[in-house]
């Protein structure tokens, strides 16, 4: 536990708003993402949040949000300290509306890529079974989320590619440089536009020149 505390002290010093900073209460073990009943309840909450009834769309939306948080403790620790908090030891802190905005971990691991793969596989199997969302779509989302988390934390694309090497189901993350800054060249869509919202800035379901222009403006 001393090592974990040291890792978190280093993370907090460099990333004051790290994913564990907003954690409160006891949370739930990350194993919950593999529980179809728990996933079904979260998707029901997403339906209320987005005022949308299609469960396939809701499954994609929920996973798009959750998949950015699930690997965050591992990625943050790797970028800041070079040591990896264990994806299997993560605890999630869901909001009342079903969104997951915080996560912590209480152990380290030596094989973060393979451990992340197991967590992703469990979640994707459950989300697909409960909502009908295609596993291939959910893996593409996981690839983009992992790559985004690496960049947001201050890491380089090479870290995302290295982690992805241990996950054969994961599409290889892609990147694009705009105005000297790296962005994820997304291959997945969160489907939020199906709820009446605007498409994301980096949405792949827009013309390449439109996406580039929006990223440049950002």
Residue-wise pLDDT for 56-80, tens only, equals 999 999 999 999 999 999 999 999 9
Nearest to 19 by CA among 84, 82, 91: 91
* Pairing, β 175-178 against β 181-184: antiparallel
CB atoms within 10 A of CB 216: 10
Task: Report pLDDT digits (tens) over 181-202.
Answer: 898 988 887 777 677 666 766 6
* Beta carbons of 126 and 35 less than 8 angstroms apart: yes
Q: Which two tokens stand for residue 47?
A: 């339906």
* Beta carbons of 76 and 15 less than 8 angstroms apart: yes
CA distance 193 to 27: 30
Q: Which of 121-135, 149-163, 202-216 has the lowest mean pLDDT?
A: 202-216
| In the chain, domain spans | 2-171
């Amino acid at each position: 536990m001393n090592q974990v505390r040291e890792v978190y002290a280093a993370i907090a010093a460099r990333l004051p708003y790290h994913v564990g900073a907003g954690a409160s209460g006891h949370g739930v073990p990350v194993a919950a993402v593999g529980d179809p009943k728990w996933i079904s309840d979260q998707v029901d909450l997403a339906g209320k949040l987005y005022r949308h009834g299609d469960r396939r769309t809701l499954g994609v939306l929920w996973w798009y949000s959750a998949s950015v948080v699930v690997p965050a403790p591992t990625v943050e620790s790797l970028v800041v300290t070079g040591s990896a908090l264990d994806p299997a030891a993560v605890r999630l802190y869901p909001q009342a509306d079903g969104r997951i905005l915080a996560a912590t971990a209480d152990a380290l691991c030596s094989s973060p890529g393979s451990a992340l793969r197991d967590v992703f596989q469990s979640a994707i199997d459950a989300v697909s079974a409960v909502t009908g969302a295609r596993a291939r779509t959910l893996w593409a989302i996981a690839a983009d989320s992992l790559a985004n988390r690496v960049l947001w934390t201050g890491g380089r694309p090479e870290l995302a590619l290295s982690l992805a090497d241990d996950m054969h189901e994961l599409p290889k993350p892609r990147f694009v440089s705009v105005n000297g800054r790296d962005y994820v060249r997304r291959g997945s869509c969160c489907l939020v536009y199906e709820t009446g919202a605007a498409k994301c800035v980096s949405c792949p379901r827009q013309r390449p020149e439109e996406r580039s222009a929006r990223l440049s403006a950002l």
